[in-house]
Amino acid sequence: MEFEGPFLKCNESLITETHPNRGTMACDYNAFTSSNMSTLPGLGSARLFLISQPFQLSVSKTISKDPDEDNSLIQEVQTLSCAPSWAHYTVNVTYLNGLHTISREQEYKGSIRGMLKLIDRYKPQNGVWSEDLVKTMAAYNHFAIIEALMDPLGGNYTMLYNGKYYAGVGSPVSCGPIAGSLVADTRFNTQRDNFTRSPADGPSFSVSEDLLNDALFNTTMNAAFQLGYWEEAVDSRTSTFRQFYSFASPKTILIPYLLCLALSLPFLYLGLRSLRSNGVSAIDGGLMQILMTSTGSRTLNEAAANGCLGGEENIPEDFKNMKIRFGELVSSASDDEQDNPRQIRRAGFGVDSEVIPLKRGVFYGA
């Protein structure tokens, strides 16, 4: 979105000053000073020109002692003279993963003084406001936001020359804000969020045109979003993100998988060959497979009969040492089967004297 809003155009100067070192005796060192325009007199037409006067801010820091005078200190004083102005803003508001971010660009257009007119010369006629009247009201609005930022900073913040604002326990000297300045509670105090500092350590101030305009922009956006008087049609774009997986180094996944596949191929070949040779697939365990493959051998039946109750303690020793193999049973026919002219060729487990190798193409079973 784009709009015209308040802006501070600042001129900065930096000087050094020598002051007598009064130690912890008095709070006469102004670490921060800001003018307060709301205390200036003037109403009506005179007020139009008073509000266009620049704000004065200064930050002082003790940098060293004067080598020629032990009782003197050298201070660095940064002074900013900021004229109330206006600018054209281009703002991008983004919501990404629930995070609200705002970025901006601004183009300086001029000072508020150039927008001001004597408002009593221009009256709305038939509900229509003249261009000069609109500009004058815009100037008032711009300055109102600037004043909302600068008024809480107005006043002084005194400190001792040693950089402290508290002389110590039992001392009547305690420095701090004068005229209600809230600068120590703002982002212009770089020590505001340093909770590990000593109670006697004072604030450390940093002020620049960029920092002032950052704070002014935040104030402007808060007023725009929260007061509810400003409606502006803006383009909105919603982006839907989808996850796609990609490998930075395909070799790290292809080589292990291809190697495992290559190693498994011989075992797969052996399994298929065994299935072809056997001619039939086996089932995984179970009583049915045990009955079908182990009940055709008389020798095996007689040896197992001695341990029919089951249990480790009932297994005969000769049964444990018996060697068996799987193949075609050649001496497993019972008396009833010998009288039956239709013989059943049966495969199963038996001892060497009962079993011959299976033959391809022979049908086993009923």
Per residue in 281-337, pLDDT (tens digit) is 666 666 777 777 777 788 888 888 887 777 777 788 888 888 888 888 886 544 445
Is 241 part of a structural domain of the chain?
no
Q: Which of 185, 212, 227 is the endpoint of a domain?
A: 227
Supply the mean pLDDT for the chain. 78
Closest by CA to 49, choosing from 116, 126, 145, 97, is 116
Residue 57 to residues 78, 160, 210, 287, Cα–Cα distance (Å): 8, 19, 14, 98
Residue with tokens 């239709």: 342
Closest by CA to 61, choosing from 205, 219, 216, is 205
47-65 as b/e: b if 16+ CB within 10 A: ebeebbebbebbbbebeee
Residue with tokens 């709070």: 27
Is 179 part of a structural domain of the chain?
yes
* DSSP per residue, 336-366: HHHH-SSPPPEEEEE-GGGEE---TT-----
How many domains, in total, are found in the chain? 2
Q: Which of 227, 242, 276 is the endpoint of a domain?
A: 227
Is 363 part of a structural domain of the chain?
no
Confidence of residue 43 (pLDDT cuts 50, 70, 90): very low
Residues 6 or more apart whose CB falls under 8 angstroms from that of 160 comprise 23, 24, 27, 29, 167, 173, 175, 202
223 and 255 share one domain: no
Amino acid at 209: E
- Which whole number is the average pLDDT over 241-247? 80
Is 350 part of a structural domain of the chain?
yes
Is 316 part of a structural domain of the chain?
yes
Specify the pLDDT at position 286: 67
Specify the pLDDT at position 42: 47
- Which range of 20-29, 114-123, 315-324 scores highest in mean pLDDT? It is 315-324
Q: Do residues 326 and 294 touch, judged by C-beta distance below 8 A?
A: no
203 and 273 share one domain: no
Q: Which of 172, 195, 227 is the endpoint of a domain?
A: 227
- Which whole number is the average pLDDT over 216-244? 79
Specify the pLDDT at position 285: 61
Is 240 part of a structural domain of the chain?
no
Specify the pLDDT at position 281: 65
- Which range of 23-32, 57-66, 72-81, 297-306 scores highest in mean pLDDT? It is 72-81
Specify the pLDDT at position 54: 87
211 and 66 share one domain: yes
Residue 342: domain span: 251-356
The reported pTM is 0.57
